Amino acid sequence: MNQMIIPIKFEGATRQRKREAPKGRRVDPAALVQVQQLLGDQSRQADMLIEHLHKIQDRFGCLSTPHLAALAAEMKMAQTEVYEVATFYHHFDVVREGGEAPAALTVRVCNGLSCEMAGANDLLAKLPGILGVDVRVLAAPCIGRCEQAPAAVVGQNPVPFATVEQIAAVVDAKDTAHVPSGFIDLAGYRAQGGYRLLGECIGGGRDVESVIKTMENSGLRGLGGAGFPSGRKWRIVRGEAGPRLMAINIDEGEPGTFKDRTYLERDPHRFLEGALIAAWVVGIETIYVYLRDEYHGCRNMLEAELAALRADPPVPGMPEIILRRGAGAYICGEESAMIESIEGKRGMPRLRPPYVAQVGLFGRPTLEHNFETLHWVRDILEKGSEWFAGFGRNGRKGLRSFSVSGRVKEPGVKLAPAGITIQELIDEHCGGMLEGQSLYAYLPGGASGGILPASMNNIPLDFDTLQPYGCFIGSAAVIVLSDRDTAVNAARNMMSFFADESCGQCTPCRVGTAKTLTLIDKPKWDVALLADLSQVMRDASICGLGQAAPNPVDCVVKYFPHELG
């Protein structure tokens, strides 16, 4: 027999005891005053969280728990929200109560593949004993200066072709971040006809449909790695209900990639004009530019040029351009993770659908573009779609900016026809291999693009040409290996990077990268188990990091079995 249970209500039992203070760590009044003074009259909206965390760290050298609690109170956010964001990004130093603050100066030595081949590990071994306990020395993932390997960053100052002596000299100098020199500023850009095309568009000299068709006919595809046709993307986002936003990705964290930084340092307004034209075509209200934190000098320069542009806008009603600072997370190169970061959150990729073009930044339809894609807009519209499509080799069309590093005489950004082969690229644009060395292998698309042997040096380098071989071009980051290197060591370097940079959101990537690294660190590889792991990561990872991370390992098994014994 079912029995009815009747609750007995005691007098006063339903009354709740009021808390004496808010739940969580109590806010230190002195820390609160410091945070308030530091933030000044800037917005306290949640999307400003990462910007404010940077302000605190820049001022105090770390993020102490009293300052984090004070920031949470000032922004009316839960302390857990602030803490989880602060601990997600590599460049934030969270110091728990009772812990020691980091050294006043940090030296980051890149240990990416190109820098490792150029002697980064030797620098990492020697520097701590030379610089002393007042300087912290860290191994860092790719810092976007692979053509200057080995590269380091002292505080906010890059040190190209770094030696122990050079790094020590920069440490002693204690300079702030150097702004790139020799770039074309606003006055110089206008003197060369800059922003005239934008004026034509706004003034009615060009119509939206003709601009979109020119972009479509040029064949320009997204140059951040995904390769989606740019003109088609403009048409899709334009078809969504407004208000619409734009997000520009200059995170550029793929090991081997530095093309965006190179172009930004030389001609920043060319990409800004491209962005403003795209905004006019699509109907964009606000443009967000997401710049990786390692590019300190570029940020200072870009802030100054944006201020000049706002003071003397080339057209009336110019959309607002907001610069946002990354905090050291490769995953934020993925478009939805970048959007999460711009919103002040951890950079974790979103599940799709819906796609960013439909529900993107702040829930609005968003036109997301890589920096270099917008860099080409002015040239294509001024010279015509046939001009851009007229370049190419081996049946391909267009131009590609190859970031070439490794064992070549002349590394750097090489503008070459789409479809060029690795051998042609090395011989015609890089001055050949280093003296006494011969081509052994190459990575056609950075860390995730796979590894191919020298015997496959005649494959056209472009979108869709490398997939049959288990590789892809991505952002065209080409790393060249010689007969002094091994594909096994290259795969270990890449997998170490992926294991460190996995955001941890999905188990296949979080566990798969770590497990794969453990397996390939052994002298003898368990090829069958690695194949199982690879398949699970490809099938079940949320985003491209986990899906592409097995590529270097799979290529070693397929093309370099002799290295496995």
The SS3 assignment for 25 reads coil
Q: Which fold has domain 29-95?
A: Arc Repressor Mutant, subunit A (1.10.10)
**Tokens standing for residue 10:** 């005691």
For the chain, the structural domain boundaries read 29-95, 105-173, 186-383, 398-482, 486-564
Give the span between the Cα atoms of 89 and 327, in whole angstroms: 6
The SS3 assignment for 132 reads coil
Question: How crowded is residue 378: how many other Cβ atoms within 10 Å of its Cβ?
Answer: 22
The CATH number given to 398-482 is 3.10.20.600
pLDDT tens per residue across all 565 residues of the chain: 445 554 545 444 445 555 554 566 799 999 999 999 999 999 999 999 999 999 999 999 999 999 999 999 999 999 999 999 999 999 999 999 889 999 999 999 999 999 999 999 999 999 999 999 899 999 999 999 999 999 999 999 999 999 999 999 999 987 777 889 899 999 999 999 999 999 999 999 999 999 999 999 999 999 998 899 999 999 999 999 999 999 999 999 999 999 999 999 999 999 999 999 999 999 999 999 999 999 999 999 999 999 999 999 999 999 999 999 999 999 999 999 999 999 999 999 999 999 999 999 999 999 999 999 999 999 999 999 999 999 999 999 999 999 999 999 999 999 999 999 999 999 999 999 999 999 999 999 999 999 999 999 999 999 999 999 999 999 999 999 999 999 999 999 999 999 999 999 999 999 999 999 999 999 999 999 999 999 999 999 999 999 999 999 999 999 999 999 7
Give the span between the Cα atoms of 239 and 23, in whole angstroms: 46
**How large is the angle between the packed helices 268-282 and 259-266, nearest 10 degrees?**
100
- The CATH number of domain 186-383 is 3.40.50.11540: yes
- Secondary structure element (H or E) that encloses residue 426, with its range: helix 422-429
Residues 144/183, Cβ–Cβ less than 8 Å: no
Amino acid letter, 177:
A
How would you class 522 by CB atoms within 10 Å of its CB: exposed for 0-12, middle for 13-18, buried for 19 or more? exposed
Question: How crowded is residue 42: how many other Cβ atoms within 10 Å of its Cβ?
Answer: 11
Give the span between the Cα atoms of 48 and 256, in whole angstroms: 30
| pLDDT of 492 | 98
Question: How crowded is residue 247: how many other Cβ atoms within 10 Å of its Cβ?
Answer: 23
Beta strands in 73-175 (DSSP E): 94-95, 105-110, 135-140, 152-154, 157-159
Question: How crowded is residue 359: how many other Cβ atoms within 10 Å of its Cβ?
Answer: 18
Beta strands in 377-510 (DSSP E): 399-406, 412-417, 439-447, 452-453, 477-482
Beta strands in 494-544 (DSSP E): none
Q: How far apart are the first and last CA of the chain?
A: 73
The CATH number given to 105-173 is 3.40.30.10
* Count of CA atoms in the C-beta half-sphere (13 A) of 18: 1
Q: List Cβ neighbours of 9 (8 Å cut-off, separation of 6 or more).
A: none
Give the span between the Cα atoms of 229 and 78, in whole angstroms: 41
**Tokens standing for residue 458:** 């005649």
Q: List Cβ neighbours of 272 (8 Å cut-off, separation of 6 or more).
A: 305, 306, 309, 321
* φ/ψ bin of 256: left (φ > 0), alpha (ψ from -120 to 50), beta (otherwise): left
Q: Which residue has the tokens 């993107």?
A: 360
Q: Which residue has the tokens 């609005």?
A: 364
| pLDDT of 6 | 47
Residues 207/277, Cβ–Cβ less than 8 Å: no
Give the span between the Cα atoms of 484 and 479, in whole angstroms: 14
Question: How crowded is residue 10: how many other Cβ atoms within 10 Å of its Cβ?
Answer: 6
Q: List Cβ neighbours of 547 (8 Å cut-off, separation of 6 or more).
A: 537, 538, 541
**Tokens standing for residue 428:** 């015609």
Give the span between the Cα atoms of 416 and 262, in whole angstroms: 15
The bridge status of strand 366-370 relative to strand 399-406 is unpaired
- Secondary structure element (H or E) that encloses residue 161, with its range: none
Strand partners, 405: 479
- For residue 243, what are the CA distances in angstroms to 47, 278, 286, 345, 364? 18, 15, 9, 22, 7
DSSP code per residue over 343-398? TTS---PPPSSSPTTTS-GGGS-EEEEEHHHHHTHHHHHHH-HHHHHT--STT--S
| pLDDT of 8 | 45
Give the span between the Cα atoms of 119 and 163, in whole angstroms: 9
DSSP code per residue over 536-565? HHHHH-SSHHHHHTTHHHHHHHHH-GGGG-
Beta strands in 31-118 (DSSP E): 63-64, 94-95, 105-110
Residues 299/314, Cβ–Cβ less than 8 Å: no
Residues 85/46, Cβ–Cβ less than 8 Å: no
Kindly tell me the sign of the dihedral angle through the C-alpha atoms of 337, 338, 344, 346.
Answer: positive
Residues 333/211, Cβ–Cβ less than 8 Å: no
- The CATH number of domain 486-564 is 3.60.21.10: no
DSSP 170: H
**Domains 29-95 and 105-173 equal at CATH topology level:** no
